[in-house]
């Protein structure tokens, strides 16, 4: 069976702070730099969601991109956009909101909802245009 990858990019803006309460202020500043500033800061995130599978013989689609967009908006963007990642998001409670930790939690939100035979293949989460992380799931 042919396997084709499709990608949809979505956007959200969110505030966060990277600091561990069990570390000293100096150690937080040394480790996280500007991301440890006490009074929050924001990022304009881009999220590239890649789904792979065989194109449907009827529609020619791996997955309808409108459905993929709606899924990501419902499960991820609606909870994160214009929110504080440290305070506002129940599924990030207790999570240090580094881009790495964030992309893993986003995977867990999306993977169960992708309709077979398609499957979530890869996420790329951009924190800035010059800095991004990639994740292909716990088995990837």
Distance CA 135, CA 116 (A): 20
Active-site option among 11, 41, 82, 113: 82
Task: Give the residue at shortest CB distance from Ni ion.
Answer: 35
**Beta carbon of residue 43, minimum distance to Ni ion (angstroms, whole number):** 6
Q: For Ni ion, how many residues bind (rule: CB under 5 A)?
A: 1
Active-site residue 100, yes or no?
no
| DSSP-H helix ranges across the chain | 25-32, 65-72, 78-80, 99-110
6, 19, 35, 114: residue in contact with Ni ion (rule CB under 5 A): 35
**Beta carbon of residue 41, minimum distance to Ni ion (angstroms, whole number):** 6
Cβ distance to Ni ion smaller for residue 33 or 117: 33
**Beta carbon of residue 42, minimum distance to Ni ion (angstroms, whole number):** 8
Distance CA 82, CA 77 (A): 9
Region of 31-39, 52-60, 74-82, 106-114 interacting with Ni ion (CB under 5 A):
31-39
Phi, psi of 90, rounded to the nearest 5 degrees: -55, -40
CB 84 within 8 A of CB 13: no
The H-or-E segment that residue 4 falls in is strand 4-16
78 to 137, contacts with Ni ion by CB under 5 A? Answer: none
Phi, psi of 43, rounded to the nearest 5 degrees: -135, 150
Which value, in Å, is the radius of gyration of the alpha carbons in the chain? 17
Cβ distance to Ni ion smaller for residue 128 or 136: 128
Active site residues: 35, 82, 127
| Contact residues: Ni ion, CB under 5 A | 35
């Amino acid at each position: 069976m042919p396997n084709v990858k499709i990608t949809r990019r979505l956007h959200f803006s969110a505030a966060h702070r990277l600091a561990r309460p069990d570390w000293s202020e100096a150690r937080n500043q040394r480790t996280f730099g500007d991301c440890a500033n006490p009074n929050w800061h924001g990022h304009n995130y881009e999220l590239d969601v890649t789904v792979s599978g065989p194109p449907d013989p009827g529609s020619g689609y791996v997955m309808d991109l409108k459905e993929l967009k709606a899924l990501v908006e419902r499960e991820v963007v609606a909870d994160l956009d214009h929110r504080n990642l440290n305070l506002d998001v129940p599924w990030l409670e207790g999570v240090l909101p580094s881009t790495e930790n964030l992309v893993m939690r986003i995977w867990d939100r999306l993977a169960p909802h992708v309709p077979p035979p398609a499957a979530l293949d890869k996420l790329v989460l951009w924190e800035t245009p010059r800095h991004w992380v990639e994740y292909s799931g716990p088995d990837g």
